[in-house]
Structure formats: C-alpha cells, structure tokens
Chain A
Amino acid sequence: GAVVSQHPSRVICKSGTSVKIECRSLDFQATTMFWYRQFPKKSLMLMATSNEGSKATYEQGVEKDKFLINHASLTLSTLTVTSAHPEDSSFYICSAGVYRVFYTEAFFGQGTRLTVV
C-alpha cells in the first residue's frame, strides 16, 4: 500500500519561532496533499489543500500567513507554522490521495504533535 511519512513526530518550540513539518509520499506521487489539525479530544479539521507547483487552498478561518504551505515536488509538502504561539500547540496530520480506478484512497501520515512553550 501507499505510505505517507510525516516528520517530525513531535516538536517543542519556543514562542515566536517557526516550525516546519514535512509530509512525504514515499512510494507514490501526490499532486495533492491535505493538512489537518486536531485539537485535544476533538476531530480532525481540514486546514488546507496543498497543490504541487501552485498555491495552497486554505479553508475558511485558517490564516495563510500563519500556516505556510509549500508543495515543491510531487512527493513533498511542508507546513510551516510561523511565529508560533502556545495556542498553535496541536496535533497536525497530513494525507495524500492515491487514485484508483473508481475512487481515490486517502493515506495519512503519522501526525506531528507540536508544543509551543
């Protein structure tokens, strides 16, 4: 099956600094990847759609300048949390779709737990 690898799995950073999270498709090419955020004891909230070679599409209410997304190649999308604050602490998870004949199957990374101190 397809594998999506996310790095790092955990990161602690100081308030005001920026953090980059990587999402890689290891054995397939992904023109589109998705970034989700999960608050404690809550569900996954779609943040943005990452498009290879073009700008990301952000969901309503998500600050594009705060959460920078870059999808420079067909196997890598990055999410940079800029000027992080404690309220940005959360679990971030990415996914990529693999096209099958009649449907697209979604594969998820392991997630990144971000703690801003």
Chain B
Amino acid sequence: SQELEQSPQSLIVQEGKNLTINCTSSKTLYGLYWYKQKYGEGLIFLMMLQKGGEEKSHEKITAKLDEKKQQSSLHITASQPSHAGIYLCGAVHGSSNTGKLIFGQGTTLQVKP
C-alpha cells in the first residue's frame, strides 16, 4: 500500500469554485511539502509544513497539517485556470530529514472556464 495517499486523484472544477486536496500518511510525518507541476516539467514549490496544526497561505492557496491524523490538506479558494496542473504532496518520514521525500500519487486538477 502507498505510504502517502493523495485524494482525489483527479478533479475537475468550474472556475471560481473552491476545492480541497488531501494527503494522508501511513507513517509519522516529520514534514510535508506541497508542489505543483505540469507533467514533464519541474516542480513548483508551494508550501512546506512542519508542525502539527501549522497552516500556511500563499495567494489563494492554503495548506494545513494535522499531526494527529498524519494528514495535510491543500485548499484553493476561487479557483482559476492558472491553478490547473498536477499537485503533489511529498512527505518527510525520517526524523533526520535529509531532504528525502516520498510522494503521493498526485492530483490532476482541471479548471473549466
């Protein structure tokens, strides 16, 4: 089974709608990264969360970390076509935190104008 489960795997929303992507770890989380990617291109760093209860926002994207549930959520408010892409969560599972990340399956987001 996956160490990091991401849901949903794909999402189609109407422009202006809100959406949430979840990322659940089967192992203890020592950090959680969110990235955006267009397939075949590099990763765009969105946010990194470290502490339980931590919440960060950048423009219309907010991410939270629930340490008890070993889960993170990424919320996009008033989605725009520019938000379309693949969203990846990457987990740090080791306490030494060398930068090694295990990724979820990814969520492909389409935003319909």
- Bound form: Cα–Cα A36–B43 in Å: 12
Does chain B have a CB within 8 A of A75? no
Known: A41-B108, A43-B88, A44-B88. A106 touches B40 (CB 8 A): no
CB <8 Å contact, B88 and A103: no
B48 interface neighbour in A40, A95, A105, Cβ under 8 Å: A105
- Bound form: Cα–Cα A51–B67 in Å: 30
Closest CB in chain A relative to B87 CB, distance in Å: 10
Q: What residues on A are CB-neighbors of B97 within 8 Å?
A: 97, 103-104
Q: Contact size class for B?
A: 20 to 34
A106 interface neighbour in B42, B90, B105, B108, Cβ under 8 Å: B90
A49 interface neighbour in B48, B100, B103, B106, Cβ under 8 Å: B100
Does chain B have a CB within 8 A of A110? yes
CB <8 Å contact, A96 and B99: yes
- Bound form: Cα–Cα A46–B98 in Å: 14
Interface size on A, residues (CB 8 A): 28
- Bound form: Cα–Cα A103–B6 in Å: 23
Known: A93-B43, A113-B40. A34 touches B99 (CB 8 A): yes
When C-beta atoms are compared, the residue in chain B nearest to A6 turns out to be B42
CB <8 Å contact, A97 and B43: no
CB <8 Å contact, B50 and A106: no
CB <8 Å contact, B31 and A91: no
CB <8 Å contact, A97 and B98: yes
CB <8 Å contact, A102 and B50: yes
